[in-house]
Structure 1
Amino acid sequence: MTTSYDVLIIGSGQAGNPLAVSFAKAGRKVVLVEEKFFGGSCINYGCTPTKALLASAERAHHVRTAAEYGIEASEPKVDFAAVMARKNHIVGEMREGTVKNLTEEQPDITVLHGHAEFTGPRSLRVALDDGHMQELEAKLVFINTGTHAAAPDVEGLTEVPYFTPTQLLDTSELPEHLLILGGSYIGLEFGQIFRRLGSQVTIIESNPHVLSREDDDVCDAMQQLLADEGVEFVLGAKARRVSQNAEGVLTLSVDTEEGERRLRGTHLLVATGRKPNTNKLGLDKAGVELDENGYIKVDDDLLTNVPGVYALGDVHGGPQFTHISYDDYRVVRDAILHDKPRSAKQRPLPYVVFTEPQLGRVGLSEKQAQEKKVAYRVASMPVATIGRARETGHTAGFIKVLVDEENHILGTAVLSEQGGEIMTMLQLAMAGNLTCTILQNMVLAHPTWAEALNNLFSKLMPPDEA
């Protein structure tokens, strides 16, 4: 028999979970199907576990640098098992909270554990974990299945042990020398984590800069900060092959402008991109269209080409961030439940690279402004000039902001302690249409990181003079 619902959600991610709750509270009959862990990528193998590990690595770094603050301390002894146990405890608590919210606090939501596959446009078959099958149909179907790690075409990769970012989060041993293939924010965060925990780290990137989408000054500063901590970088390097000898040592051969280099390490992390979880959903039976990379095509309302079928979060491509997935939920909630449609493709894109110091970004970079031929002025201020930075010793980095002809903020890059928070203050100013003159003359408490906004805009000048 087929069970009918008003709403069927595939995947317990950062869009699917709150959507299930909102529809249930609105009196809709809801079923949510999850194949693996509740909470999606953020809780299980993204934000939560990596930031928990970053916190442990930060503590080790504080002990290691305590003498700079007049505190005598020995080299920190890292109990890697305890570090991982702390991370697992935090993930477990958040996962359990998600389950409780869906099952105990929302009795009108049916939760099924198993794999869902389409049998028609809005009908699915679920292979339950207990071995049984269940047929479902619904008026509205939301796909929130996320992505998985992509493996590059490197000779020998399938024949040697290597980590994806998800697998590295479950390792039981601290790598002696970790090779990281990929210089995106994932590679940089893991690089700093394991370097501070005691590993030797080498990051290999095919582009001439890490964080290749950022302005060159941001990329260079980030690389220098991590290099000062002992992270090695091999840039402009195309990975060709990898092998492992009898002693377990990995050799990664890369092509560079200077010729072939052979990099040796004990462990390898492959962090070169993601692929959508769409190949086992039976989307062809539903008639749902995919792009050339396997992502689900959606319109401004996140609706697929099939009426009543939506795609939320990373599975439809575009920026893959938790806060964007959560906003996908708000887009469809407001359109369907509150008759307040809003385009999912016309929204700000803030993000933070959670190294220490953090990189907070929102709005246009200089590269983007130049590509769009947007007139701008730019101001850049070293973090070391901020009073709070000198007092705390967190003097690395700089703040850069772009301003239009009417003194409104176009975008910012904040490479600083609390960079994400400072960036968010500037984002609030952008959302409120405040001018830089207002921020420059605003009375801000001293000594705070926010106080930097009083001085930043005094340095505005045309880009060719900056």
Structure 2
Amino acid sequence: MKYYDAIVIGSGQAGSPLVKQLAKAGKKTALIEKRFIGGTCVNDGCTPTKTVIGSAKAAYLINHSKALGVHVDNYQIDMKQIKARKDEIVLSWRNGGQKAIENTENLDLVFGEASFTGQKTVKVKLNDGGELDIQADLIFINTGTTPVIPNIEGLQEVGYFISTTLLDVEYIPEHLLVLGGNYVGLEFAQSFRRFGSKITVLERGPRLVAREDEDISEELTNILLAEGLDIYANAEAVKFERENGDIKATIIVDGRQKEIFCSDILIATGRRPLTEALNAQVAGIELDDRGYITVNDRLETNIPGIYALGDVNGGPAFTHIAYNDYAIVYQNLFEGADQRTTGRQIPYSMYTDPQLGRIGLTEKQALEQGFNIKVAKLPMTSVARAIETGDTRGVLKAVVDADTKQILGAAVLGQEGGEIITVLQMAMAGGITYDRLQYFIFAHPSYSESLNNLFMKLGR
């Protein structure tokens, strides 16, 4: 048995910065990583997908450049080059992160799979063979999540992609069937449509991105339909089989059965926590009914000294939230702070094109919570910067408290939507009321300047 002051299981966007700070604080620390340094974000999520989306955006711009007086003919999509560029960027981040960890004194990097053998003891099945038994008073779990694979007849036989494996294709699928109409599915669906694939999206719910207001969902759906995606809501696949080299999918749409043929399948139907291998029950760690580790608002489990950070604790599944989990835990343990997850802002962006940036309450949520609200909407066709750059798709929407004039939430579906929403997030954090933004001085011409006109819609 080898003794440490702290053990961190998983090197995602909470685990990686945490181990370095623990070691610098004088804690003898072990980092256990089953696969690659950087977790999902660097290796399978944010970094590679946004790199591929960048290539897809270039293809879209070429296709729509004639209206701007730029004529480009006979361009080609080189999937091998797109993959090579993605791989280079991913490896630079992964290797840089690993080097930083390896160069940190007081920190041991162990590649293997961890499982609890007692409340504060862990066995590591080493990737290169053998086992290692370690113990620590402080343990931090950052194991993340993995895609859920639905139990559909014939799916295993015909084969499928998940978000990780689709990133490695070096060909353009002829017809990609996407199961799931939320962030992962839509980002991939739009990108591969731009590369030249025929795309069909199946969403089990009544509409895409169901967590958003209906008008935002409808606006996004229309944008994707205009790019040539086929989208079915209230739809699910019930059977797959091979027929003459293609995949025949039997689907149910609005209660009616139909068949479609495709060449490839992407599963984007949600994720589940990576907790099975941990044997958390041996340590007495409580899990919820979905397998996520339960934590309090300081991210500590029911076992003192054991914490769960990032997606594995069932909180908002965003990289920036995982990083904030790290910040909360570190500040509380080593800086005497009393940081908590309760009430923190949850901004997020979906990197379809245009982007959907979101902060705070939707209109529906604000009404459900009993607020007296006003709603402001401004189409991107009324935004000078959008007109000048030739892309007026989308809409800005803000929900405010009619009594206090505080901004309760906003959605920006448009170019630089993720950046515009950050301006509103800062306003909300600083208590800046919407009437002050009506005459706020923004640089001209900028996308953020459109916030003047958005809030003018509400009057004084």
Classify the TM-score, shorter chain: over 0.9
The Cα shift of 1:461 comes to 7.6
| Distance in 2 (alpha carbons) for counterparts of 1:33 and 1:62 | 43
| Distance in 1 (alpha carbons) for counterparts of 2:319 and 2:9 | 17
2:36–2:94 contact (8 Å) kept in structure 1: yes
**Is 1:275 the counterpart of 2:272 in the alignment?**
yes
The Cα shift of 1:257 comes to 2.4
| Distance in 1 (alpha carbons) for counterparts of 2:360 and 2:409 | 4
**Is 1:25 the counterpart of 2:28 in the alignment?**
no
Worse-superposed segment, 126-135 or 17-26: 126-135
Worse-superposed segment, 53-62 or 170-179: 170-179
The alpha-carbon distance between structure 1 residues 208 and 302, as it changes in their structure 2 partners (threshold 3 A), is: same
| Distance in 1 (alpha carbons) for counterparts of 2:183 and 2:127 | 35
Q: Match of 2:199?
A: 201
Aligned Cα root-mean-square deviation (Å):
1.3
Letter in 1 for 2:293: I
The Cα shift of 1:300 comes to 1.0
Worse-superposed segment, 116-125 or 150-159: 150-159
The Cα shift of 1:356 comes to 0.9
| Distance in 1 (alpha carbons) for counterparts of 2:210 and 2:111 | 40
**Is 1:383 the counterpart of 2:380 in the alignment?**
yes
The Cα shift of 1:442 comes to 1.3
Q: Match of 1:66?
A: 65
The Cα shift of 1:199 comes to 0.7
| Distance in 1 (alpha carbons) for counterparts of 2:404 and 2:449 | 23
2:24–2:105 contact (8 Å) kept in structure 1: no
Q: Match of 1:364?
A: 361
Q: Match of 1:231?
A: 229
Worse-superposed segment, 238-247 or 37-46: 238-247
1:250 to 228, 247, 251: 247
**Is 1:455 the counterpart of 2:442 in the alignment?**
no
The Cα shift of 1:135 comes to 1.1
1:288–1:306 contact (8 Å) kept in structure 2: yes
2:374–2:458 contact (8 Å) kept in structure 1: yes
> What SS does the aligned partner of 1:280 have?
helix
For each residue in 1:314-373, what CA deviation from the matched residue of structure 2 results, as whole angstroms up to 9, or x when unmatched?
A: 111121100010010011011111111222232111100101110000000011112212
Worse-superposed segment, 420-429 or 300-309: 300-309
The Cα shift of 1:136 comes to 0.4
The Cα shift of 1:454 comes to 1.2
Letter in 2 for 1:87: K
1:75-224 correspondence to structure 2 within 5 Å: 75-104=74-103, 106-224=104-222
| Distance in 1 (alpha carbons) for counterparts of 2:297 and 2:255 | 46
> What SS does the aligned partner of 2:143 have?
coil
1:288-327 correspondence to structure 2 within 5 Å: 288-327=285-324
Q: Match of 1:35?
A: 34
| Distance in 1 (alpha carbons) for counterparts of 2:414 and 2:304 | 46
Letter in 1 for 2:170: S
The alpha-carbon distance between structure 1 residues 139 and 258, as it changes in their structure 2 partners (threshold 3 A), is: closer
1:379–1:461 contact (8 Å) kept in structure 2: no
Question: Which structure 2 residue ranges, 5 or more long, are not aligned?
Answer: none
Say how many residue pairs are matched: 459
The Cα shift of 1:203 comes to 0.6
Letter in 2 for 1:198: G
1:64–1:75 contact (8 Å) kept in structure 2: no
> What SS does the aligned partner of 1:139 have?
strand
> What SS does the aligned partner of 2:451 have?
helix
1:396 to 393, 397, 406: 393
**Is 1:332 the counterpart of 2:329 in the alignment?**
yes
Q: Match of 2:433?
A: 435
| Distance in 2 (alpha carbons) for counterparts of 1:26 and 1:256 | 57
Kindly, what percent of the aligned residue pairs are identical? Answer: 44
Worse-superposed segment, 424-433 or 334-343: 334-343
> What SS does the aligned partner of 1:233 have?
strand
Letter in 2 for 1:53: V
Worse-superposed segment, 237-246 or 281-290: 237-246
| Distance in 2 (alpha carbons) for counterparts of 1:335 and 1:109 | 21
Q: Match of 1:6?
A: 5
For each residue in 1:98-127, what CA deviation from the matched residue of structure 2 results, as whole angstroms up to 9, or x when unmatched?
A: 1011112x1221101111111101111112
Letter in 1 for 2:366: A
Q: Match of 2:405?
A: 407
Q: Match of 2:284?
A: 287
Question: Which structure 1 residue ranges, 5 or more long, are not aligned?
Answer: none
For each residue in 1:356-395, what CA deviation from the matched residue of structure 2 results, as whole angstroms up to 9, or x when unmatched?
A: 1100000000111122122111100011111111100111
The Cα shift of 1:432 comes to 0.5
**Is 1:262 the counterpart of 2:280 in the alignment?**
no
TM-score normalised to the size of structure 2?
A: 0.98
| Distance in 1 (alpha carbons) for counterparts of 2:17 and 2:254 | 49
The Cα shift of 1:206 comes to 0.9
1:19–1:333 contact (8 Å) kept in structure 2: yes
